[in-house]
Amino acid sequence: MDFKCVQDCSKCCIEREYYPRKKFGKVGVLILPDEKEMIEARAKNLHLDIVILPRIGVSYEKSNGPTKILAYQLMGRESNGNTCPFLDTEGEERSPHGGYKCRIYESRPLACKAYPVIESSSVTLDNKCKFCESCANTATNLNEELESLSKIKNKMETNAPFIWRYATGVGEKSDLNKISTGWVLEI
Ligand code: SF4
Ligand code: SF4
């Protein structure tokens, strides 16, 4: 079945997850370094306050932190990390499938264009996507999503031996005592 958004769904623009585990806090929308300036400019034009944190960094030595940032993340606007600041939940206009409108749809980040594809070598879809709940194994027509994911992978390619992940310190109130903030060495 061709992939298409479920009627009225906005789940992936609202619900953010703890990743890779609770300690790291909720992640934002992945932003590549060459997308960051454009996203900041779009927010400024729309008079939106946004928070962009680092997400993945690398270093060639085991140091106190990364020497290069491979990806940032656009944090949700709610204190628990949910709801992309570009999602228009107040206006009456809706996207073609009836979900809330993305205010920057044409220039949305590659991560949004790739979703729900989360792995391209052996095509894997995010089972948290509403469409994928029932049709993940039979989804077709995912060329644009696969192409976007492949662009992200190319841009994040690195031979640096040390990978750092940024813990956002953001999550549900009841989880805050389990969540860290700052860079954590992964490998
Ligand atoms: S990609 Fe999936 S979760 Fe996101 S709006 Fe479409 S159906 Fe809903
Ligand atoms: S930028 Fe647009 S498509 Fe991406 S999460 Fe935000 S509202 Fe959704």
Question: Any long-range contacts for 150-157 (C-beta under 8 Å, 24+ apart)?
Answer: 150/120, 151/110, 152/30, 152/32, 152/110, 152/111, 152/114, 153/120, 155/32, 155/34, 155/70, 156/32, 156/56, 156/70, 156/71
Give me the pLDDT at residue 139, please: 85
By alpha-carbon position, which residue is closest to atom 4 of ligand 1? 12
CA angle 9–3–83, rounded 5-degree value? 30
Is the pLDDT score of 141 beyond 80?
Answer: yes
Is the pLDDT score of 142 beyond 70?
Answer: yes
User: Is 183 strand, coil or helix?
Assistant: strand
Per the listing, tokens 């939106």 go with 48
**Residues in a beta bridge with 124:** 119
Is the pLDDT score of 187 beyond 80?
Answer: no
pLDDT tens digits, 146-158: 999 999 999 999 9
Q: What is the Cα–Cα distance from 10 to 29, expressed in whole angstroms?
A: 14
Give me the pLDDT at residue 134, please: 80
> For the chain, what percent of residues have pLDDT higher than 70?
99
Sign (positive or negative) of CA dihedral 39, 44, 49, 53 = positive
Q: Which atom of ligand 1 is nearest to the CA of 11?
A: 3
- Mean pLDDT over the full length of the chain: 95
> Is 116 close to ligand 1, i.e. is its CB under 6 Å away?
yes
pLDDT tens digits, 61-90: 998 899 999 999 999 999 999 999 999 999
CA angle 180–153–41, rounded 5-degree value? 70
Identity at 5, one-letter amino acid code? C
What's the pTM value of the predicted model, to 2 decimals?
0.96
> Is 131 close to ligand 1, i.e. is its CB under 6 Å away?
yes
Give me the pLDDT at residue 15, please: 98
Q: What is the Cα–Cα distance from 167 to 22, expressed in whole angstroms?
A: 9
> Is 102 close to ligand 2, i.e. is its CB under 6 Å away?
yes
Ligand 1 centroid to Cα of residue 13, in Å, is: 8
pLDDT tens digits, 18-39: 999 999 999 999 999 999 999 9
Q: Which two tokens stand for residue 130?
A: 């509403």
Is the pLDDT score of 136 beyond 70?
Answer: no
CA distances from 151 to 18, 26, 57, 124, 130 (A): 24, 24, 18, 16, 24
> Is 167 close to ligand 2, i.e. is its CB under 6 Å away?
no
Give me the pLDDT at residue 122, please: 86
Give me the pLDDT at residue 63, please: 84
Is the pLDDT score of 138 beyond 90?
Answer: no
Our mutation pick for probing the ligand 2 site, out of 10, 16, 29, counting the most ligand atoms within 8 A of Cβ, is: 29
Distance of CA 178 to the CA centre of its chain: 22
